[in-house]
Structure 1
Amino acid sequence: MIKMIFLTFLLVFFNIQLLGKEKQSSYLEYKSEVFYVGGKYVKQDNSKTLMTGQMYVEKWTPKEIKHKYPLVLIHGAAQTAVNWITTPDGRPGWANYFVKNGYIVYMVDQPSRGRSAWHPNIDKEFRMFNAEILEKKFTAAEQFKNQWPQAYKHTQWPGTGRQGDEIFDQFYASQVESLKSHVESSNLVKNAGAALLDKIGPAILITHSQSGPFGWLITDARPDLVKGIVTIEPSGPPIKNKKGKDSMTWGVTVVPMTYEPTISNPKHLEVVQETKAQGKNLVKCWKQKEPAKQLVNLKDKNILFLISESSYHAPYDHCTSNWLTQAGVKNDLVRLEDVNIKGNGHMLMLEKNNIEIAKFIDNWMKKSIK
């Protein structure tokens, strides 16, 4: 009996020690640093000087670095680096997954956003998403009829996705104002992103939504320093949206890209719309007339292009992939449902199966980027 009690005590003691080590290791798995890149001094009318255009960067370095190239995670509109760190229901985010798997991870707040200062007398107008828009487009699309054909397939948001639900309230509390001008944002992030790569060296970019075009721009500016791109539902589609309004006027961006033969105006891109959509519930894409001008600085890059099953991007994101392909830029277009990852919306890095998606990305990078 005494022997049994002693053995039980030892088991409990060692289990407590192991739990303590697990908790301790979770805090010691990476080193965290913060710095800023880019920015310039601007004289004001009162002769006082401010800095504008700088970008906040948070770097996580694992105890054991297992991969040659670090990851640069760039958030979308209204978001900040918080998107990559945690989910609204408190689960680990993608940054945690990748640093645990041996990647150095850099996360940014876009210039004039979050911890990257905005100055009302320098920067242009802001926009802020209201809660109703996020419910309809991001968190509870399946509850609203006649939005887009795939919306009803959404099942992966944790919680009800509506105001008053604690998880949605956490998500909406994390939203911040962002610059209304896509042109201004594009130029600021391109310049700051190039400055970041100049500082850290070759890297893999992971972009989402609004920041998707910024990945093309940063690569165009520093082609030798971008070793791969994972783009998740980048802003699009090329040329015009489904309502006929101007969208990505330079094909994949709203500001100049390097094409060959060289063009100085997006009107020099001769385009035509498909006469027939490529599948059910898909829009008719705009494409270049042949011979298509080439995006020379994006060639030979390893690119993964992800589309989720139920997102509002599902009807048109293939058009951006097609534009890249026609412009000489190979890319692996993956609809997540085709690899049995189902039910996701646009904010897939926050949803219930976020780690399953991170693992898919990780496996693709290990296989494709050497």
Structure 2
Amino acid sequence: MNSYTETKFFIGDIPYQMFIQYYRPRKDRNSVPIVLLHGAFHTGTCFVKTPDNRQGWAVYLTEQGWETYIVDWPGHGRSGFVPDFPTMPYQRVINATVALLQQIGSAVILTHSMSGVVGWQIAQTHPKLIKAIVGIAPGPPANLLPVIAKDSHQAFPEDRPRIQSREETKKYFTNSDNFPQEVFENYFCSLVAESARISNQRRNVEGQGLYICHPQILFDIPILVITGDQDPRHPREVDAETAKYFGSDFIWLPEVGLPGHGHMQMLEHGNLAIADLFINWLHSKGL
């Protein structure tokens, strides 16, 4: 028998509803739940198991007593079809996540990559719903980004979804020493299309990124940023600047004896050691 029970449900407004996979410990429950938010091109399955079938963060957290909620962003994976998906904005993800938090109560949210922006926005607009934020290589707020011109090669056409290529995946997601390269194809098949609008907002194309108007609001929320040394899109100085902007704690993994990690920390060898880092940090904050 599993040490937890599993429930699946949807939340939010059609067609932007969000699929939720919920793990509840059978005993010794923590009083605060944790919500796991995936990044671009992914679904919540990246938190369930690794591509080589090792234990993922969701089950591990549940075994440590956390009620764990795993989401698929609207329009991603099990959440279903969105007719305007190429132009679907961040706000749809934010709205659905807020609806979840309003239903389950205030929680820790763990963000990864492009969902970092979701975490900053919810903390600004609904701070009472956030007990703490753990950002795994989180995208920064637009305040820390330059404005990119629409005709730049970094802007994406919004008449179609973005599709991640094998080359991009190998360069940015699976390049680290600790990624299980032998199951690359299994991992690559798990990737989904991404909204071009959200991608442009993340890059602050034409200034349409999501800004934080009152960063001081986040100073009262415990925040931890974790970054690996082999993440090409998140060099140390970039994520350290994000942490500094919010007065957050910052962990550079080589400094705690965990070198060789890249962007997909939850899937790499040593993933549970990283989980122990943020679990211990949460306990240190009284959570």
TM-score normalized by the length of structure 1: 0.59
Deviations 1:290-332 (A, max 9, x none): xxxx4143221100101001111342x5435435534xx2101
SS of 1:357 mapped into structure 2: helix
Q: Provide the C-alpha distance between the structure 2 equivalents of 1:256 and 1:338, rounded to a whole number of angstroms.
A: 31
Alignment map for 1:195-214 (pairs within 5 Å) = 195-214=99-118
Which residue of structure 1 aligns with residue 145 of structure 2? 239
Which residue of structure 1 aligns with residue 84 of structure 2? 123
Larger radius of gyration: 1
Q: Provide the C-alpha distance between the structure 1 equivalents of 2:227 and 2:147, rounded to a whole number of angstroms.
A: 17
Aligned match for 2:273, one of 356, 363, 370: 356
**Contact 1:62–1:99 (8 Å) recurs in 2:** yes
Which residue of structure 2 aligns with residue 340 of structure 1? 257
Q: Provide the C-alpha distance between the structure 1 equivalents of 2:69 and 2:228, rounded to a whole number of angstroms.
A: 24
Worse overlay, 228-237 or 204-213: 228-237
Q: Provide the C-alpha distance between the structure 1 equivalents of 2:240 and 2:8, rounded to a whole number of angstroms.
A: 34
Alignment map for 1:265-304 (pairs within 5 Å) = 294-304=214-224
Deviations 1:58-79 (A, max 9, x none): 1100011342211000011111
Q: CA RMSD in A?
A: 2.6
TM-score normalized by the length of structure 2: 0.75
CA drift of 1:340 comes to 0.7
- State the AA in 1 paired with 2:221: K
Query: In 2 relative to 1, CA 324–360 (structure 1 residues): closer, same or farther, beyond 3 Å?
Result: closer
SS of 1:98 mapped into structure 2: helix
SS of 1:53 mapped into structure 2: coil
SS of 2:17 mapped into structure 1: strand
Query: In 2 relative to 1, CA 318–37 (structure 1 residues): closer, same or farther, beyond 3 Å?
Result: farther
Query: In 2 relative to 1, CA 103–323 (structure 1 residues): closer, same or farther, beyond 3 Å?
Result: closer
Q: Provide the C-alpha distance between the structure 1 equivalents of 2:61 and 2:282, rounded to a whole number of angstroms.
A: 11
Worse overlay, 231-240 or 295-304: 231-240
Q: Provide the C-alpha distance between the structure 1 equivalents of 2:271 and 2:48, rounded to a whole number of angstroms.
A: 12
SS of 1:359 mapped into structure 2: helix
Aligned residues: 235
Alignment map for 1:71-90 (pairs within 5 Å) = 71-90=34-53
Aligned match for 1:219, one of 123, 148, 172: 123
Match status 1:36 vs 2:47: no
CA drift of 1:117 comes to 1.7
Q: Provide the C-alpha distance between the structure 2 equivalents of 1:99 and 1:85, rounded to a whole number of angstroms.
A: 11
Aligned match for 1:312, one of 227, 232, 244: 232
Query: In 2 relative to 1, CA 198–368 (structure 1 residues): closer, same or farther, beyond 3 Å?
Result: same
Alignment map for 1:25-174 (pairs within 5 Å) = 27=2, 29-39=3-13, 51-119=14-82, 122-125=83-86
SS of 1:216 mapped into structure 2: helix
Deviations 1:261-295 (A, max 9, x none): xxxxxxxxxxxxxxxxxxxxxxxxxxxxxxxxx41
Query: RCO higher in 1 or 2 (8 Å CA, sep ≥ 6)?
Result: 2
